[in-house]
Amino acid sequence: MIGSKILLVDDEEIFANNMAKLLENRQYKVTAVYNGESAISALEDDKFDVVVLDLKMPGMDGLATLKQIKQLGLLTETLLLTGHGSIDAAVEAIRLGAYDFLTKPCEIDDLVEKIEGAWRKKDDAWKIDMEGKLKKLVESPSSVFDLFD
Amino acid sequence: MTQYSESRKQAHYSRLFRRFIFLTMICSLVPLLFAGWAINIHYSRFARERTMNTLCTRVDYHRKIIELFLKENRDRLDFIARTHSKSSLVEEGQLTQILENVNRDSWILTDIGIIDDTGEHLAYVGPFDLIDKNYSETIWFGEVMEKGIYTSDMFMGFRKVPHFVMAVARHENGRCWILRATVNTDRFRSLVENIRLGKTGDIYLVNSQGLYQTSLGSGGEMMTPAPGFDGIAHPHSKPECYETTGRGGDQRIVCETWLEDPRWLLVASQGKAELFKEVRYANRASLVYLHLSALIILIVTILITRHMVSVIKKRDLEVECMNLQLMHAGKMASIGELSAGVAHEINNPLAIIMTERQLLLDTEQRARITDEVFRKQFEDSLNQINIQARRCKHITRSLLRFARRTRSDIETVDVNQFIKEVIDLMEREAKSDGIKFVALLEATLPSILSDPSQLQQVFLNIINNAIEAHEEKACGVITITTASAKDQSGIVVTVEDTGTGIQNSDMGKIFDPFFTTKPPGRGTGLGLSICYSIVKQLGGLIHVESEAGKGAAFILELPLTPPEERVKKG
């Protein structure tokens, strides 16, 4: 979806920057960070539709970051970038609640396709969430403030 | 496996063999022979003593018979002398009557006579004309006058034939008279001379002067001196046994005992060889049995030892094979780790190259490039970068897959896909040798449960061999065929090459550990044996068909599921 906000997390700065440019070329709003900790603080500061997370990073790795993201309880979907040899870790990531994974190096078109899929899922979740809140509003108008949480 | 270490191993087993034999000998044969010989020697000595004792007992028995005979006759004379007066005995016919009575049952006395104290014959009955003979000068007359009763040695006397007499002196009215009788010499001699002691035995009597009192079967007339007789050195009543050298130079056992009266020596001698024949026979038989037992133990020891050493050899070979397999597995694992590291390191720059290309492509689309030649070259280059980057990606993926497979796991394997990957890995090497791969893969081939890393090892090994089989040929084809088994229980993979093939004589040994046709140092001879054990562990079969010079085909039959214990392990 044009204008979707993407958080790109990869310790390889050149790769992260290049990817960000490529996605921006495709009309996404991209923020690139280079480690898990920065990703968490970025997520705390701003809202993102999709997080693209590298699995293998020094310090806080992809799985640990994913766990923290899930703890934040944000309305966001996560895509994992993995090497071919760490399929097991990717499977673990999906179990933890990631949307999907891609093996590195990947084609930009494949990434875009997955991002779109993730966005749709996030959007569906947002719609359900909203519907619930609206229903609540109809039932008890005092919960109008919840909409702005 | 070099010839040097092979010969060293052989020497080691020979040494082991010899040591086992030596120890078993020390532990079994030495005690057996020691005990056997000791028992044999002891038994021989015992048996000899028994034999000699038996001879002594016999001699003593005969002594008693002879003594009894002599005593009986002496007592008879004594009885006659005591129950008759001189006057009654000299009466006409009286002595004749007595002689007849005495000789009624057997002819014991040859003659009988009465002699007065001057040595004159008062009466005489017998075959000789002795009535006018005077005996005052004879030895026996003196002895009987002195002792009262006397038995003489053998002597010739007036009749000039060997004989011996018994005499009893009696006192009557202050005067002395003598009853004298000659014992039937033949009767007496038969008592001694009829005794038989085997074929070489002699038994005879010798008087105290060493003269034969009876004749010998083996030569030695009566009254002649007995050789080697040294007189009455130690008269003994108990029989004495000793060994001596006979006249013919043969060893003889002699047993002798003295008679009470007269002092005659009863001598029995027998050839030692004959006397101890039974002992010697038993002795030899026991030694034969002993050595036969030793020989049997020796043979059995050799056979058992040979078997044991061959079992040890086999175990050693198995251990060695297992060690090499472990080493190989370890090597594969470290290669796997290395490959994974390299692949990861290459993946990152590769990812950047791919994004850079994409950026260029994005930029190109937005920019307006008027130079057509540049645009064409630019696009061609980007295209080539894409192709080469994909190729790199493919290689790193293969490496990572390989790395993953160095772990032992049972998982679903799409064999067709698997074969393609293996071909990918090997293609470059094969191409440089002028070898082409042909894959005839059955489209509907079912997936199987197996260990991909081990299968990979098997296929890499077989394909490597197939490539090496083309060394002498300029080009060749390796055809890999997959098909379902006829009974649908598994799949069949055939790897066929157009190489040099396998000699008929080698067909039976091809899967044996350490069998190799490569020159020393170039092949361990383990590749196919490892393949064989892996395929067997996975519940499959591997066999080979070949025609020398035309190529070989390895046929692998793999089950849909591996044996249960493998699944549990996996």
CA-based nearest residue to B71, from B340, B261, B238: B261
Chain-chain contact of B355 with A108 (C-beta, under 8 angstroms): yes
Write the residue in A14, A22, A84 that is nearest to B358 by C-beta: A22
| A83 chain-B contacts, CB cut-off 8 A | 343-344, 347, 400
Three-state SS annotation for B158-188? CCCCCECEEEEEEEECCEEEEEEEEECHHHH
Parent domain of B542: 410-570
Stated as kind and residue range, the H or E segment containing A135 is helix A108-139
Three-state SS annotation for B493-505? EEEEECCCCCCHH
Q: How far is B341 from chain A (nearest CA, A)?
A: 10
Which of B234, B251, B275 is a domain's end point? B275
B238 and B262 Cβ atoms separated by less than 8 Å: no
- Please tell me the predicted confidence (pLDDT) of residue B532: 82
Chain-chain contact of A15 with B348 (C-beta, under 8 angstroms): yes
- Please tell me the predicted confidence (pLDDT) of residue B1: 46
Question: Is B404 part of a structural domain of the chain?
Answer: no
B424 and B382 Cβ atoms separated by less than 8 Å: no
DSSP-derived secondary structure for A10-49: -S-HHHHHHHHHHHHHTT-EEEEESSHHHHHHHHHHS--S
Is the overall model pTM greater than 0.95, yes or no? no
Question: Is B320 part of a structural domain of the chain?
Answer: no
Chain A contact for B343 (CB, 8 A cutoff): yes
Q: What is the CATH number of the domain that holds B419?
A: 3.30.565.10
Interface with B, mutate which of A61, A84, A112 (most B CBs under 10 A): A84
Q: What is the ipTM of this complex?
A: 0.83
> Residue holding tokens 């645009």?
B375
| A85 chain-B contacts, CB cut-off 8 A | 340, 343-344, 400, 403-404
What backbone torsions phi and psi does residue B200 show, to the nearest 5 degrees?
A: -105, 5
Q: Distance between CA B143 and CA B4 in Å, rounded?
A: 103
Chain A contact for B352 (CB, 8 A cutoff): yes
Q: How far is CA B96 from CA A129, B112, B179, B413, B551, in A?
A: 172, 9, 14, 138, 130
Chain-chain contact of A15 with B352 (C-beta, under 8 angstroms): yes
Question: Is B49 part of a structural domain of the chain?
Answer: yes
A→B contacts (Cβ < 8 Å), by residue, are: 12, 14-15, 18-19, 21-22, 25, 56, 83-85, 104-108
CA-based nearest residue to A81, from A5, A3, A11, A132: A11
- With CA atoms as reference, the chain B residue closest to A109 would be B358
Q: How long, in residues, is chain B?
A: 570
Q: Report which residue type is found at B407.
A: R
Looking at residue B28, the DSSP 8-state letter turns out to be I
Looking at residue B120, the DSSP 8-state letter turns out to be B
Contacts of B227 (CB under 8 A, 6+ apart): B247
Question: Is B66 part of a structural domain of the chain?
Answer: yes
pLDDT tens digits, residue range A114-137? 999 999 988 888 888 888 888 888
Question: Is B343 part of a structural domain of the chain?
Answer: no
Ordered domains of chain A (ranges, CATH): 5-122 (3.40.50.2300)
- On whether both B267 and B416 belong to a single domain, the answer is no
- Give chain A's mean pLDDT: 86
CA-based nearest residue to B210, from B196, B192, B226: B226
Question: Is B546 part of a structural domain of the chain?
Answer: yes
- With CA atoms as reference, the chain A residue closest to B396 would be A84
Write the residue in B362, B389, B397 that is nearest to A84 by C-beta: B397
A8 and A33 Cβ atoms separated by less than 8 Å: yes
Interface with B, mutate which of A13, A18, A19 (most B CBs under 10 A): A18
Interface with A, mutate which of B338, B347, B355, B358 (most A CBs under 10 A): B355
- With CA atoms as reference, the chain A residue closest to B341 would be A85
Q: Distance between CA A54 and CA A52 in Å, rounded?
A: 7
Q: Distance between CA B561 and CA B570 in Å, rounded?
A: 12
| B389 chain-A contacts, CB cut-off 8 A | 105
Chain A contact for B388 (CB, 8 A cutoff): no
- Give the confidence band of A148 by pLDDT, cuts at 50, 70, 90: low
| B401 chain-A contacts, CB cut-off 8 A | 84
pLDDT tens digits, residue range B324-367? 777 877 777 777 778 778 887 888 889 899 999 999 998 888 88
- Please tell me the predicted confidence (pLDDT) of residue B402: 64
- Please tell me the predicted confidence (pLDDT) of residue A6: 93
B525 and B516 Cβ atoms separated by less than 8 Å: yes
Q: How far is CA B493 from CA A58, B461, B497, B540, B542, in A?
A: 45, 14, 13, 11, 10
Which of B248, B275, B302 is a domain's end point? B275
Chain A contact for B347 (CB, 8 A cutoff): yes
- With CA atoms as reference, the chain B residue closest to A107 would be B354
End-to-end CA distance of chain A: 24
Contacts of B131 (CB under 8 A, 6+ apart): B121, B123, B124
Question: Is B483 part of a structural domain of the chain?
Answer: yes
What backbone torsions phi and psi does residue B566 show, to the nearest 5 degrees?
A: -70, -40
A93 and A56 Cβ atoms separated by less than 8 Å: no
Q: How far is A149 from chain B (nearest CA, A)?
A: 38
Chain-chain contact of A105 with B344 (C-beta, under 8 angstroms): no
What backbone torsions phi and psi does residue B17 show, to the nearest 5 degrees?
A: -60, -50
Chain-chain contact of A85 with B343 (C-beta, under 8 angstroms): yes
Q: How far is B403 from chain A (nearest CA, A)?
A: 8
Question: Is B114 part of a structural domain of the chain?
Answer: yes
DSSP, collapsed to helix, strand or coil, labels residue B568 as: helix
Chain A contact for B181 (CB, 8 A cutoff): no
Residue B551 Ramachandran class (φ > 0 left, ψ -120 to 50 alpha, else beta) = left
In total, how many domains does chain B have?
A: 2
- Please tell me the predicted confidence (pLDDT) of residue B509: 78
Q: Is the peptide bond before B262 cis (omega within 30 degrees of 0)?
A: yes
| B340 chain-A contacts, CB cut-off 8 A | 85
Environment class of residue B196 by beta-carbon count within 10 Å: exposed (0-12), middle (13-18) or buried (19+)? exposed
Chain-chain contact of B354 with A107 (C-beta, under 8 angstroms): yes
B423 and B470 Cβ atoms separated by less than 8 Å: no
Structure tokens at B523: 């092949």
Q: Distance between CA B334 and CA B321 in Å, rounded?
A: 20
Structure tokens at B158: 């007036």
pLDDT tens digits, residue range A99-115? 888 888 888 888 999 99
Chain-chain contact of A56 with B400 (C-beta, under 8 angstroms): no
Which of B222, B240, B275 is a domain's end point? B275
B440 and B480 Cβ atoms separated by less than 8 Å: yes
Chain A contact for B310 (CB, 8 A cutoff): no
Q: What is the CATH number of the domain that holds B164?
A: 3.30.450.20
pLDDT tens, residue order, chain B (570 aa): 456 677 888 899 999 999 988 998 899 889 999 999 999 999 999 999 999 999 999 999 999 999 999 999 999 999 999 999 999 999 989 999 999 999 998 899 999 999 999 999 999 999 998 888 899 999 899 999 999 999 999 999 888 889 999 999 999 888 999 999 999 999 999 999 888 888 888 899 998 888 899 988 777 788 888 877 765 555 666 888 888 887 778 899 999 999 988 889 999 999 999 999 988 999 999 999 999 999 999 899 999 999 999 999 999 888 887 887 778 777 777 777 787 788 878 888 898 999 999 999 988 888 888 889 999 999 999 999 999 998 888 778 777 766 665 555 677 888 998 888 888 888 877 888 888 899 999 888 888 888 887 888 888 888 888 888 888 888 889 999 999 988 888 999 999 999 888 888 888 778 876 677 777 656 666 678 778 878 887 888 888 888 888 889 999 999 988 876 555 443
Cβ neighbours of B462 (radius 10 Å):
24
Interface A–B counts its CB contacts (< 8 A) at 54
Q: How far is CA B244 from CA B21, B192, B550, in A?
A: 47, 22, 92
A78 and A50 Cβ atoms separated by less than 8 Å: yes
CB burial readout A1-30, b (16+ within 10 A) else e: eeebbbbbbbbbeebbbbbbbbbebbebbb
- Please tell me the predicted confidence (pLDDT) of residue B569: 46
Q: How far is CA B325 from CA A83, B533, B534, in A?
A: 31, 10, 10
- With CA atoms as reference, the chain B residue closest to A111 would be B355
- With CA atoms as reference, the chain B residue closest to A10 would be B348
Q: How far is B363 from chain A (nearest CA, A)?
A: 9
- Please tell me the predicted confidence (pLDDT) of residue B473: 81
Sheet holding B149-151, edge to edge: B121-125, B109-116, B175-183, B165-172, B149-151
Chain-chain contact of B351 with A12 (C-beta, under 8 angstroms): yes
Helices A36-45 and A62-72, packing angle to 10 deg: 20
CA-based nearest residue to A54, from A74, A32, A71: A32
| B356 chain-A contacts, CB cut-off 8 A | 18
| B397 chain-A contacts, CB cut-off 8 A | 84
Stated as kind and residue range, the H or E segment containing B480 is strand B476-484
| A104 chain-B contacts, CB cut-off 8 A | 347-348, 351
| B352 chain-A contacts, CB cut-off 8 A | 12, 14-15, 18
Chain-chain contact of A105 with B393 (C-beta, under 8 angstroms): yes
Q: What share of chain A is helix, strand, coil (3-state, %, to 5)?
A: 60, 15, 25
Q: Distance between CA B158 and CA A118 in Å, rounded?
A: 164
Chain A contact for B243 (CB, 8 A cutoff): no
